[in-house]
Structure 1
Amino acid sequence: MAGIVIVDYGMANLRSVQKAFERVGHAAVITSEPYVISQADRLVLPGVGAFQDAIARLRETHLDEPINAHINSGRPFLGICLGLQLLFSRSSEDGDHTGLNVLPGDVVRFENHPGLKVPHMGWNQLAFTGDCPLFRGIAPQSAVYFVHGYYAKPADPSIVSATADYPTPFAAAVWRKNLYATQFHPEKSQSVGLAMLKNFAEVC
């Protein structure tokens, strides 16, 4: 097995994620090779940019197949930002697009509210729900860094492991068995985010 593997499909600052894992004592490999991805002990799917472009690249490069196989195998998986959104059934960003459909639900745009800009950018506090291993040892109401104009609405609300307000609560993180995903960027969230990545690297 290949340890922690970060999926390279051309739509994220992968080195920043890799460096964050290194800072908490865990090496991570960046790759676009389906075989290496299929051999990962722990798989990370980051992402920045448009949903349509991202899902097209995953399918064109046949990376969707080892990603799905990894999740179905029960091995730990972490989606970050766009990497969370891609897990869902559909996105309404610039049209109607089908995602990986690992998690039933839709990705929708924030509604316009006076005084709030879209995309949502900057620090925001989390409210944890349940006992997600990703957040073990992290203080309630810890702040993390967001950059996104769309958010996921899971069909099953019980998978939401953290919420944030903008201005009403939205799914900031989801958790189902071996699958963890954050709408925020742990690699940009200083000590709080590093603690989450360490938790992921060491979760059983």
Structure 2
Amino acid sequence: MSKKVVLLDYGSGNIRSGERALQRVGADVKVTSDYDEALNADGLLVPGVGAFEACMTGLKAVRGDVIVDRRLSGGRPVLGICVGMQILFARGIEHGVETEGCDQWPGVVERLQPANGEPVPHMGWNTVDVPAETSLFQGIEKERFYFVHSYGVRAWELQDARASVTPAVTWTSYAGDRFVAAVENGPLSATQFHPEKSGDAGAELLANWVRAL
């Protein structure tokens, strides 16, 4: 039986490309903001494109922050993508404006600081430094993934005492600036890159996630 995945529609993100990517790997996908359906699906995917503050406003409007928290309290899987990953952290700072995130992980989302005047956004294909404990990257540890972003998490702040399991944190760098590319932390996973735009490697990552639901 296909796993039922809700792609949370809160006014931000590549909804249709995410839907097609999940269907490609065999998931039974529904795009909705319905509270009960999002809460009870086998998996919940939280997309995100644009500004941190706007995404949080949209997420709260559909009680998405509550859905995420309740799912995780019950050990039900959630996957955040791009800004959908960033809003899982405690706060974001953009253009001097600080916005509270979902605070599932401590830490701040801030502007990238590439060296030698390299431009932002960081846009294009990049390799990642995958930890040994990974499940998401099984079979695709050496592949490249597609990034489009100007902000990221440049320091991992979760202490072991707060973590129910030891998180697997994947890193990457752009022009010498190191930042979090993905996190696997029990039922909560997230990627800064776009798996739905990352070809076969991205499809395999989503397949790994769906198989584990």
TM over 0.5: same fold?
yes
Identity of counterpart residues, as a percentage? Answer: 38
Q: How does 1:49-128 map to 2 (within 5 A)?
A: 49-94=50-95, 95-128=97-130
TM-score by length of 1: 0.93
Residue ranges of structure 2 left out of the alignment (5+ in a row): 160-165
* Most deviating of 184-193 and 155-164: 155-164
Q: Is 1:189–2:198 an aligned residue pair? A: yes
Structure 2 counterpart of 1:172: 181
Whether the 8 Å contact between 2:115 and 2:177 is mirrored in structure 1 is no
- Residue correspondences, number: 202
SS at match of 2:26: coil
Tell me how far apart the structure 1 counterparts of residues 178 and 68 of structure 2 sit (CA, whole Å): 29
Query: Which residue of 2 is the match for residue 26 of structure 1?
Result: 27
Mind listing any 5+ residue stretches in structure 1 that lack a counterpart?
none
AA aligned opposite 2:106? P
3-state SS of paired residue (2:193): coil
Shift of 1:162: 1.3
CA distance in 1 between partners of 2:40 and 2:167 (Å)? 26
- The Cα offsets for residues 13-70 of structure 1, whole Å up to 9 and x where unpaired, read as 1110110111122221110111211111111001100000110111122221112111
Equivalent-residue separation in structure 2 for 1:197 and 1:123 (angstroms): 17
Paired AA for residue 103 in structure 2:
N
Question: What TM-score comes out, normalization by structure 2 length?
Answer: 0.89
Farther off after superposition, 122-131 or 111-120: 111-120
Kindly state the Cα deviation for residue 115 of structure 1 after the two structures are TM-superposed. 4.7
How many Å separate the matches in 1 of 2:152 and 2:203? 23
Match for residue 135 of structure 2?
Answer: 133
Distance in 2 (CA, whole Å) between partners of 1:20 and 1:171 is 23
Q: Give the root-mean-square deviation of aligned CA atoms.
A: 1.6
